[in-house]
Amino acid sequence: MSATEISAQATQMPATWQNVWRALKRVLREPLGALGFGLVMFVLVSAIGADFFAPFEPNKIDIRAKLQPPSAEHYLGTDQLGRDIYSRVLVGGRIALKVSLVSIGIALVIGLTLGLIAGYGPRWLDNSLMLLFDSVRSFPTVMFALAVVTLFGPSLTTVMIVVIVTQIPIYGRMVRSQTQALRDAEFILAERAMGAGFFRIIAMHILPNVVGPLLILASMDIPFVITIEAGLSFLGMGVRPPTPSWGTILNDGYSYIYNTPWPVIAGGIPVILTTLGFTFLGESLRDVFDPKLRKEI
């Protein structure tokens, strides 16, 4: 990509929106992309409007109505305390999305910064950052999560810390290799020769080239993070009761699996639909934007 193309990309904001629209149309043309987009929209709308759609208060206990199968009143039945599972699934979806979006967002910012430093900074800094990244990645994620939970106690914040710490190295590494590839590119050399400072080069030239692939990578991580949240909550190491989460619904259901199958079924389906939706959408986004990435996975 030449220097003029890059600066043209960075300055024309309206064109970006046009690009987004065009990419979306290409995603929707593929059946799997359309399915993914539909599922993601469905999950987003139901999570945002959870309070509006939920027929019951998610923590309202009604012992007399416990462990009921699905009915016209309780669409997905009730759990062992008689709480409406449908309402809990909706509100749990909001928590899953909140955790994944917020923690991926924070990890993106930190990973981007560290990656730029590693890629553009001195060699020793690069090496020590890489060693740190590799060391953090060398803990199997769930083992690491369990170790962190031992220390900080189970909570939503702990889940987010785990996600942020384990995702930073992934983003950092990617930004670093992209930055290194760009650092010696001709148009950057030209900029430097014209007297552009460090921050100008980073902000105007390297950043726009790095952000696109990074966002695609991040969007493909959402299902992974949702899995982590649900998994830790399932183990009783994430969201604290009585707050509804898909993981805690599954955990409650698992304790009563010999009494009624419905809580387990109801808690698992949203996890499956959401991870499938984001995966399908992420895959087709990647194919549209960056066919080169396809080979690596």
- Contact indicator for 73, 60 with CB cutoff of 8 Å: no
Quickly tell me which residue has 């149309």 as its tokens: 25
Interacting residues with another protein between 204 and 233 (CB under 8 A): 223, 227, 230-231
Distance CA 153, CA 253 (A): 23
Distance CA 46, CA 100 (A): 16
Supply the minimum distance, in Å, between the C-beta of residue 5 and another protein: 28
Contact string (CB under 8 A) for another protein, positions 150-189, x = contact: xxx-------------------------------------
- Contact indicator for 238, 232 with CB cutoff of 8 Å: yes
From 22-30, 53-61, 131-139, 208-216, span contacting another protein (CB under 8 A)? 131-139
Q: Work out which of 59, 113, 141, 155 binds another protein, going by CB under 8 A.
A: 141
CB of 113 or CB of 141, closer to another protein: 141
- Number of residues forming the site for another protein (CB under 8 A): 46
Tell me the sheet residues that pair with 84: 78
From 14-22, 62-70, 78-86, 272-280, span contacting another protein (CB under 8 A)? 272-280
Q: Work out which of 5, 51, 73, 134 binds another protein, going by CB under 8 A.
A: 134
Distance CA 119, CA 133 (A): 13
3-class SS at 241? Answer: coil
Interacting residues with another protein between 65 and 124 (CB under 8 A): none
Among 296, 273, 292, which residue's Cα sits nearest to residue 41? 273
Supply the minimum distance, in Å, between the C-beta of residue 276 and another protein: 5
Question: End-to-end CA distance of the chain, in Å?
Answer: 24
Distance CA 150, CA 41 (A): 36
149 binds another protein (CB under 8 A): yes
Contact string (CB under 8 A) for another protein, positions 28-57, x = contact: ----x-------------------------
What interhelical angle do 85-120 and 31-48 show, nearest 10?
A: 110
The DSSP secondary structure of 52-69, one letter per residue, reads HH-SS-TT---GGGTTPP
From 114-122, 139-147, 181-189, 207-215, span contacting another protein (CB under 8 A)? 139-147
Residues that bind another protein (CB under 8 A): 32, 131-132, 134-136, 138-144, 146-152, 223, 227, 230-231, 234-237, 250, 253-254, 257-258, 261, 264-265, 268, 271-272, 275-276, 279-280, 283, 295, 297
